[in-house]
Amino acid sequence: MPVTADPPRWAEALLRAFLKPDDFESVSGDLLEQYRDSIYPARGKRRADLWYVSQVFSFVSSGARLFAALFSAQFLARTTLDWFLPPADFHTRSTVSTALGAGILLVAGFWAAWRSASFAAGAIAGVLTAALASVTSIAGAAVMLAFWHGPQTLTAIRNSGGLEEVFSSPLIMLLPGLFLGASGGVVATALRRLVLVFSRSQGC
């Protein structure tokens, strides 16, 4: 008996926002085929929907992972320097680190929106990058603390803002991730339109 069940519309919309326009029809068709002919009959509606969402996540997060890794790397590098080579004034280091982090989120949004020609993809990429980076940054800081927690290190941690700052600042980046990713997305979609107009005027 043919199954005509449909996966969650919001998940499909997320997939559309994130994929290149040329890819959406074939990729969403592949997922729908698998959803209808094997996943839904075997698992029922609720678990089939969960499966579909996890598949969409695998598409959407693949690009964000690289930027999340870069973001975590710069955060953990800054944390390491603060703990083992504390400066007299943290302001400069903090400014550089914040600018780097913001730049990574902007580029993540730009890249996602450029690929998919969708501004929404930029915003999603920014949030996803910040979310993934929070998990790895906090985990990395926890591992560092497990190895190094002598009196000198704890003093350096206190002087650089304390453990609350180490474990909460990655989470604070979620909302900026949304705005910075969206900003990168706006720039990318505007640039794509300009390139399209220019290439049409050249007869390409």
Q: Using the minimum distance from each CB to another protein, give the nearer residue, 64 or 138.
A: 64
Count other Cβ atoms within 10 Å, centred on residue 177.
Answer: 33
- Least distance to another protein, CB of residue 176, Å: 26
Q: Torsion over CA of 41, 42, 48 and 54, rounded to 10 degrees?
A: -140
DSSP 134-164: HHHHHHHHHHHHHH--SHHHHHHHHHTTHHH
Binding site residues, another protein, CB under 8 A:
2-3, 23, 25-34, 36-37, 54-55, 58-59, 61-62
Q: Using the minimum distance from each CB to another protein, give the nearer residue, 52 or 110.
A: 52
Q: Using the minimum distance from each CB to another protein, give the nearer residue, 30 or 165.
A: 30
Q: Using the minimum distance from each CB to another protein, give the nearer residue, 55 or 189.
A: 55
Measured distance CA(176)–CA(87) in Å, rounded? 27
SS3 96: helix
- Least distance to another protein, CB of residue 38, Å: 9
- Least distance to another protein, CB of residue 188, Å: 19
